[in-house]
Amino acid sequence: MNAIIFSAGWGMVMMFCSFLISNKSMYRHIAVIGLLLLLAVNILESGGTSVFHVDAGDMLVYTRFGYVFNSIAIASTLIYVLLTGKDIERLGNYVAEYFVLIFFVLCGVCILSAYNNLLMLFIGIEILSIPLYILTGSDKRNLKSNEAALKYFLMGSFSTGIMLMGIALMYGGTGTFSLEVARTEVGLYKGVSFLEIIGLLLLMVSMCFKVSAAPFHFWTPDVYDGAPAVFTSFMATIVKAAGFIAFLKLCSVRMTATSTAIDWQLLFAIIIIATLLFGNITAIFQQSVKRMLAYSSIAQAGFMLFALFSLNEYASKGLLLYAAAYSLATIGVFAVLVKMKDVTFEGFNGLAKTQPVLAASNTIFLLSLAGIPLTAGFLAKYYMLASIISTGHYIWLVVVAVLFAAVSVYYYFRVIQSMYFKTGEPQTETITKSFKIGLVVLAAIIIIIGVYPQAIFSWLYF
């Protein structure tokens, strides 16, 4: 609750900074301070000490799960700003506003991790999305950025419309916006109102759109490719993870309750297979690393969907782990990508010779994304597989998924091959020493989580 107020408030403060302070790098420092405070406030509140007391009634309910996710999202944003903050400054004249928008997105994230009411879900999604439309188009003189922003906005508002329609139908079916519904048995289809099922289906479509699950993923490659790489990194990690957390809550309450009437698992199985298929197969054929990462983020979404499929203890814990592991690795990969002048695979040729630290840490990020053991990514994938295998059914789905995981090795390792086994003269922006230290620390975190995850497991109890 405090995190919501605080992130919105700090966003407002930073807006005023933009005309009170003219030094560009000052904004970054203010943003870092804001994120640190935000993290502190959130951790304090999860420990029971809150700064403001606001009674949100039944609209927002904070659980330990929500707090942990908020912490992960805020910490990831902090790492993201520390690593790529300088590149945000290079982007244009409205540096302060970019940070403001990032804070507003975080506000949306915090709402999504706590909503207990469909209206709050809608508001959270909107608060999250609208700043993103702006950030996508922030490279004003680049036609691709403009195109991406318009595309994202049109498609995004369309999916929001579908979501609203779904919520309205669900209201018609159950008579309440609240997530928890007292059910009556009169005049219903297998105990569930027909309107509610249609509403849930529409809601599912729009959520699939937000987390870029097939067949609603078509916007993802264009938007991720067109948006400035610094913001793609943010969109593909924290925002996507927040979408999944919201989706998980919706599924674990509403879809479990209506599973007598409709086989959600089958529906999700189809979506998972389609997502893995589209994401992995198209990623293979890309020539640009940035576009490859866009497709691979669809493929990773396929793995995160496992949590929505199985909805057990492994799923919720695993989704948090997945969100953390995937965000950290992707932020790292994008931080390196932003420094490259040529973002095709050829542009990475010979990077190990000229920038050994960049190449080595990038390798660890890619290994983590590919799910190689002793990295955080393996653990995340492990939990996702375990969540289904523990039920003892749908083993074929797991087998299909691991085959696609092997496919993903193909395109992630192409980058490693370019960096280490091929020769070339890669052009990079100037690399500062602090950036290198940041990358190494991030890589070390990924390895530590992979080797000794027990250290963070104690956090994840809720």
Partner 1 sequence: MIALLLILVPVIGGLITFSIKNENSVKGFSILVAVITLILALTGLFSNDQSLLHFDASWIPDLGTRITLGLDGMSKMLALLTAVSLPIIITATYKNTYADAGKFYGLMFLCQAGMLGVFLSMDALLFYFFWELALIPAYFLCSIWGGEKRIQVTFKFFIYTFVGSLLMLVAILFIYFKTPDHSFALQSFYHANLTASQAQWMFWLFFIALAIKMPIFPFHTWQPDTYEQAPTAVTMLLSGVMVKMGVFAVIRWLLPIFPAASQSNSSVIITLSVIGMLYASLIAMRQDDIKRLIAYSSMAHMGLMCAALFANQQVGIQGVLIQMFNHGINIIGLWIVADAIEKQLGTRKFSELGGLAQKAPTLAVLFVVLCLANVALPLTNAFVGEFLMFNGLFRYNPVMAGIAGISIILAAVYTLNMIQKIFYGNTVALTENAHDSSFNVNVALVILVIVVIVLGVYPQPMIDLTQGNANLFITKIP
**Whole-number minimum distance, CB 48 to partner 1, in Å?**
25
Q: Which of residues 16-55 bind partner 1 (CB under 8 A)?
A: none
Which span (105-113, 213-221, 284-292, 408-416) binds partner 1, by CB under 8 A?
408-416
Which span (81-89, 172-180, 328-336, 416-424) binds partner 1, by CB under 8 A?
416-424
Q: Beta-carbon neighbour count of residue 197 at 10 Å?
A: 18
Nearest to 250 by CA among 386, 112, 157: 112
Q: Which of 158, 421, 427, 429 binds partner 1 (CB under 8 A)?
A: 421
Do 415 and 340 form a contact (C-beta atoms < 8 A)? no
Residue 185 has φ and ψ, to the nearest 5°, of -100, 10
344: which strand partners? Answer: 288
**Whole-number minimum distance, CB 113 to partner 1, in Å?**
23
Integer-rounded Cα radius of gyration of the chain:
21
CA pair distance 268, 397, nearest whole angstrom: 11
Contact track, partner 1, 360-399, x by CB under 8 A: -------x----xxx-------x--xx--xx-x--x--xx
Question: Toward partner 1, which CB reaches closer, 302 or 453?
Answer: 453
CA pair distance 435, 335, nearest whole angstrom: 9
Asked if residue 457 binds partner 1 (CB under 8 A), the reply is: yes
Question: Toward partner 1, which CB reaches closer, 7 or 375?
Answer: 375
Question: Toward partner 1, which CB reaches closer, 25 or 390?
Answer: 390
Q: Which of 8, 409, 440, 441 binds partner 1 (CB under 8 A)?
A: 409
Nearest to 282 by CA among 408, 366, 386: 408
**Whole-number minimum distance, CB 415 to partner 1, in Å?**
13
Cβ-proximal residues to 324 (8 Å cutoff; 6+ apart), any chain: 72, 76, 376, 380, 449
Q: Which of 21, 184, 410, 444 binds partner 1 (CB under 8 A)?
A: 410
CA pair distance 347, 330, nearest whole angstrom: 19
Q: Which of 270, 403, 437, 444 binds partner 1 (CB under 8 A)?
A: 403
Handedness of CA 39, 42, 45, 46 (dihedral sign): negative
**Whole-number minimum distance, CB 137 to partner 1, in Å?**
39
**Whole-number minimum distance, CB 299 to partner 1, in Å?**
15
**Whole-number minimum distance, CB 406 to partner 1, in Å?**
4
Cβ-proximal residues to 283 (8 Å cutoff; 6+ apart), any chain: 292, 295, 296, 298, 299, 408, 411
Question: Toward partner 1, which CB reaches closer, 37 or 398?
Answer: 398
**Whole-number minimum distance, CB 359 to partner 1, in Å?**
12
CA pair distance 237, 339, nearest whole angstrom: 19
Asked if residue 447 binds partner 1 (CB under 8 A), the reply is: no
Residue 117 has φ and ψ, to the nearest 5°, of -150, 140
Q: DSSP assignment of 221-241, as one string?
A: HHHHHHS-HHHHHHIIIIIHH
**Whole-number minimum distance, CB 367 to partner 1, in Å?**
8
Which span (91-99, 217-225, 278-286, 412-420) binds partner 1, by CB under 8 A?
412-420
CA pair distance 307, 315, nearest whole angstrom: 4
Distance of CA 404 to the CA centre of its chain: 20
Question: Toward partner 1, which CB reaches closer, 242 or 358?
Answer: 358
Q: Which of 413, 424, 459, 462 binds partner 1 (CB under 8 A)?
A: 413
**Whole-number minimum distance, CB 384 to partner 1, in Å?**
11
How many residues in the shown chain lie near partner 1 by CB under 8 A?
Answer: 28
**Whole-number minimum distance, CB 454 to partner 1, in Å?**
5
Contact track, partner 1, 317-356, x by CB under 8 A: ----------------------------------------
Cα distances (angstroms) measured from residue 100 to each of 12, 171, 175: 7, 34, 37
Do 318 and 387 form a contact (C-beta atoms < 8 A)? yes
Contact residues: partner 1, CB under 8 A:
367, 372-374, 382, 385-386, 389-390, 392, 395, 398-399, 402-403, 405-406, 409-410, 413, 417, 420-422, 452-454, 457
